[in-house]
Amino acid sequence: MKKEKILIFDTTLRDGEQTPGAGLNVNEKLKIALQLENLGVDIMEAGFPRTSKGDLEAVKTVSRHIKRSVVCGLARATKKDIDDAAEALKKAKKPRIHVFLATSKIHMKYKLKKAEEEILRTAVDAVKYARRKLPDVEFSPEDASRTEPGFLRKVVEEVIKAGARTVNIPDTVGYAVPVEFGSTIKMLKDTVPNIEDAVISVHCHNDLGLGVSNSLAAVLNGARQVECTVNGLGERAGNAALEEIVMAIKMRKDIFKGLYTDIKTEELYKTSKLVSKLTGIIVQPNKSIIGENAFCHESGIHQDGVLKKRVTYEIIRPQDVGFEGSKIVLGKLSGRHAFSDRIKKLGFSLSSDEIDAAFKRFKDLADKKQKIYDDDLAAIVEEGLDAVQEMYKLKDFEVVSGKKTKPVATVKLYHQGQETEARATGDGPVDACFKAIEKASGEKGKLVDYRVGAVTSGKDALGEASVKIQFDGRIVVGRGTSTDVIEASLRAYVNAINRVHSSGYGGKTRKTAKSLRGKARKA
């Protein structure tokens, strides 16, 4: 079977930057450009030089540093735009000028106010002028998907005659649907007499959520270049997502027979994270291919299947796109198999009955908490295997704190039927409380970790405090809940002290303090 390469034209630095709020400076553009080259994109559109001095400088900078990928500059069908693009690309090893001009009746009537004859002449003149600057010229009839088919055929034929080596067919406003857009590409492939003298490219927007689908339909009908962006960034609803197009072609070889890209897919997640960080546009967790939840499983049925055989619920190996592996996310939908598997990975060795008891407590906690962490699991297991006797109980507390007042805490504890009270100061109200507990209990430990979160939402949210405290070389996890986060923190500290005094601590769990320190929190 003959193999054909699909060229990946990345426009993250140009169209992607047009995402509202996604402005990039020159250094940030260069960082992304270097990673795009490492990813293996064939062409990168570095900017629109005529629009600003910043974009002109950005294209110049990218041009100086990129060696393997083609560097492209966008230009309207005017001499000034083309001159600026050529100037910006002077240092590029593989430069390309991308000229565009609208061809739909809507754009011609309301935006350009020009007739078809003038549009055709302008397009041809612009391509010829650009060819005098550089040998690699691409032309885009803007809003091609809403252009009259006969006129679109004529424009494509004439710009190829004028010297365009790539003809890009944009679905500028995301209006097309796959069957229609694929037919448009096939029509051009079958009816434009000189179409073999140029590469057919497509540039699809996502206004109807069909950017990737339209791009793939075009590929199946003869397009051999796809214009796209990392994370699907772009104007309005964005562009076709690079990672989705690439992985669709890679995974469905039965459909895209003989077609391939040179993208190093293991770099996709890394690239996505970099673009997200520098643009400030967060990737939605359930985004396909590179979303944080793309390889997470919470349903018990799915978890059981993946643990038995990954391909039951994963069509892509996480490592193939840059993830470390699948994630089993424990929550209220999780099953006993996934729970048992995680407990074993944390180093616990439990009998079947012990697992059943711990799983019941896990389900009770999962109804209250959205996410269950490894610390929670350790506490759940310890709760059942190490019965914690409440040698100390929190009776009362009082805290005085303010902007100009040094925090002072008074804590009252019950211990073996007697009340103990202590007062202490600290760097903050919680620190003062912890020091007061140490005085009242006579138990001094080293705080290793302290966290506060919300179990519920709203003004009356139940706060959950978690502490890790080191006592004589072993780390103990304590937890407490209350609508008052300071009280929750106090309860967590007292709970940790009770765990230290609990008889048989560390015995039934068959888990050493060293193991606890090393594995307690991975989620």
In the predicted structure, residue 385 carries a pLDDT above the cut 90: no
Q: Is 13 exposed, middle or buried (0-12, 13-18, 19+ CB in 10 A)?
A: buried
Q: What's the total number of domains in the chain? A: 3
Contact between residue 137 and residue 127 where contact means Cβ atoms under 8 Å apart: yes
Q: Give the domain extent around 66.
A: 4-279
Alpha-carbon span 445 to 443, nearest angstrom: 7
Q: Residue 346's pLDDT is what?
A: 64
Question: Residue 324: which pLDDT band, with cuts at 50, 70 and 90?
Answer: low
CA distances from 299 to 292, 466, 498, 522 (A): 16, 26, 35, 20
Query: Is 484 contained in some domain?
Result: yes
pLDDT per residue over 469-488, tens digit each? 888 877 777 877 766 889 88
Question: Residue 354: which pLDDT band, with cuts at 50, 70 and 90?
Answer: confident
CA R_g for the chain? 31
Residues 363 and 427 reside in one and the same domain: no
Report the chain's mean pLDDT, rounded to a whole number: 85
Q: Average of pLDDT values for 86-97?
A: 97
Residues 118 and 239 reside in one and the same domain: yes
241 secondary structure, DSSP code: B
- CATH number for the domain harbouring residue 403: 3.30.160.270
328 secondary structure, DSSP code: E
Question: Residue 358: which pLDDT band, with cuts at 50, 70 and 90?
Answer: confident
Axis-axis angle for helices 116-133, 149-162 (nearest 10): 30
Q: Which residue has the higher pLDDT, 362 or 275?
A: 275
Residues 127 and 183 reside in one and the same domain: yes
pLDDT per residue over 39-78, tens digit each? 999 999 999 999 999 899 999 999 999 999 999 999 999 9
pLDDT per residue over 393-441, tens digit each? 899 999 999 888 999 999 999 988 899 999 999 999 999 999 999 999 9
Residues 362 and 398 reside in one and the same domain: no
pLDDT per residue over 249-307, tens digit each? 999 999 999 999 999 999 998 899 899 989 888 888 788 888 766 665 545 555 556 45
Look at the chain and count its residues. Answer: 523
Alpha-carbon span 422 to 437, nearest angstrom: 7
* Residues sharing a CB contact under 8 Å with residue 484, sequence separation 6 or more, in sequence order: 463
pLDDT per residue over 450-469, tens digit each? 988 764 444 434 567 888 88
Query: Is 290 contained in some domain?
Result: no
Query: Is 515 contained in some domain?
Result: no
Alpha-carbon span 226 to 19, nearest angstrom: 19
Q: Average of pLDDT values for 120-137?
A: 97
Alpha-carbon span 338 to 342, nearest angstrom: 6
Pairing of strands 463-471, 474-482: antiparallel
In the predicted structure, residue 386 carries a pLDDT above the cut 80: no
Residues 34 and 137 reside in one and the same domain: yes
Question: Residue 352: which pLDDT band, with cuts at 50, 70 and 90?
Answer: confident
**Of 94, 87, 39, residue with least CA distance to 65:** 94
- Tell me, yes or no, if the pTM score tops 0.75: no
3-state SS track over 203-259: EEECCCCCHHHHHHHHHHCCCCEEEEEHHHCCCCCCECEHHHHHHHHHHCCCCCCCE
Axis-axis angle for helices 268-279, 242-251 (nearest 10): 170
Residues 143 and 260 reside in one and the same domain: yes
